Structure 1
Amino acid sequence: MNALSGAAIFVVQTLVSLYLVIVLLRFVLQLVKADFYNPLSQFAVRATQPLLKPIRRIVPSIAGLDTSSLLLAIVIQALLMAFVMLFVNLGYTPLQLIIWAIIGITSLFLKIFWVAMIVMVIVSWVAPNSHNPAAELAYQISEPVLAPFRKLVPNLGGMDISPIFAFLAIQVIQAYAMPPLADYVGMPEILWRLI
């Protein structure tokens, strides 16, 4: 791979990944039942609506899950991976590409919760009780992840240490479960570095 193809991969990967985060964020927002009147939620809806509208006609929601957003995220991830594989001249089957895309989406899903918790923790230190749309959304995304840890970890006199255990759990999954899984299904290292 020469410098020009590396630059092309970088530019396309960056732009497509940004849109992919917005699509997956829309899935997460519905999953956690976030406030859809939040300006950031409205942005995610407007940005994804052109591609999701035709998919929604074909793919119904299953058990309250926004399956069309999830399907769109998997398709976008698979197309991005196929684009990269084209540049590095590695072969793959469509089934491999779908499995790799699901692994990529799972990793990105975990990163969205990780970032939301980071924002929530920083805002709780810097500006507690803030009514910033980003802070409120971060809290709404983080709360379902933190709730099980709050049941296990006692409150230490007003100090909530449940994010530490949630960060630890996400990091263990990212570092010790995802790489062996990617290796097991034969995901090339160049694709693993994308996610």
Structure 2
Amino acid sequence: MEPVSFLVQSLSSFVSIYLALLFIRVILSWFPTIDWSNPFFSTLSQLTDPYLNLFRRFVPPLGGIDFSPLLAFLLLQFLQSALSSAVGMA
């Protein structure tokens, strides 16, 4: 396997895992009783919130609903699609 192909494939795998973490984070945010000081939830928050905060700067909550995860998912899925097509070309 070529180094570039390996790098692209690794990045694609990373994006897939990060998408799953974001999905879990968003679903858990619907439950107000979650204790975010719990080590598991705290780690999840530390991994995903910096990325989500990039979008929260530009998309304020509308009617109490945070739409920034939608943009975050769309961008990552676009990146994953681009990486997957790049792997297919290699």
The answer to whether TM tops 0.5 is yes
Contact 1:146/1:166 (<8 A) preserved = yes
User: CA 1:169 to 1:128, structure 2 compared with 1: closer, same or farther past 3 Å?
Assistant: farther
Q: Tell me the TM-score normalised to structure 2 length.
A: 0.81
Q: Tell me the TM-score normalised to structure 1 length.
A: 0.41
Identity %: 31
Deviations 1:77-116 (A, max 9, x none): xxxxxxxxxxxxxxx5xxx1x2222112211221232122
Q: RMSD of aligned C-alpha atoms?
A: 1.8
Q: Are 2:72 and 1:173 equivalent residues in the alignment? A: no
> Which of 111, 125, 137 is the matching residue for 2:16?
111
Query: How far apart, in 1, do the equivalents of 2:85 and 2:25 lie?
Result: 30
Q: Which runs of 5+ in 2 are unaligned?
A: none
- Greater RCO structure (CA 8 Å; 6+ sep): 2
- Corresponding residue number in structure 2 for 1:152: 58
Query: How far apart, in 1, do the equivalents of 2:8 and 2:16 lie?
Result: 13
1:132 positional shift? 3.0
Query: How far apart, in 2, do the equivalents of 1:135 and 1:119 lie?
Result: 10
Query: More helix per residue: 1 or 2?
Result: 1
Q: Secondary structure at the match of 2:30?
A: helix
Q: Which runs of 5+ in 1 are unaligned?
A: 1-91, 187-195
Higher-Rg structure is 1
